[in-house]
Amino acid sequence: MSTTGEQRRSPIKHDEEFRERLRELPPSAKLVAKVLETEEPLSQGQLAEESLLPDRTVRYALNRLDEAGLVDSRYSFRDARKQVYFLDH
């Protein structure tokens, strides 16, 4: 997406379509998206730690973000047993 030296564009602040889809989601999903905006990729446990939300709430938020097409995941390079999540922009 970006070349060396360019700052990464924040999808929450700059992408109107992204903002509109996010607007319809519950507050927990918005918080998880905001955490992912500043620090990605993160595992579900890391998201719970950073957002101060319970694991179940983070899982629910990630499911809602996934259904809206706002988040994607891959296996962690550090621990292939874990998924890490990032904003899909």
**Which residue ranges make up each domain of the chain?**
11-87
Strand order in the sheet with 71-75: 42-43, 83-87, 71-75
Query: CA 53 from chain center: how many Å?
Result: 14
Record the pTM: 0.80
Beta bridge partners of 71: 87
pLDDT tens sequence across 19-29:
889 999 999 99
Does the pLDDT value for residue 7 go beyond 60? Answer: no
Q: What CATH number matches the domain at 11-87, 1.20.120.80, 2.40.30.10, 1.10.287.1080, 1.10.10.10? A: 1.10.10.10
> Mean pLDDT, to the nearest integer, of 48-65?
97
pLDDT of res. 16 = 86
Residue 30 pLDDT grade (very low, low, confident, very high; cuts 50, 70, 90): very high
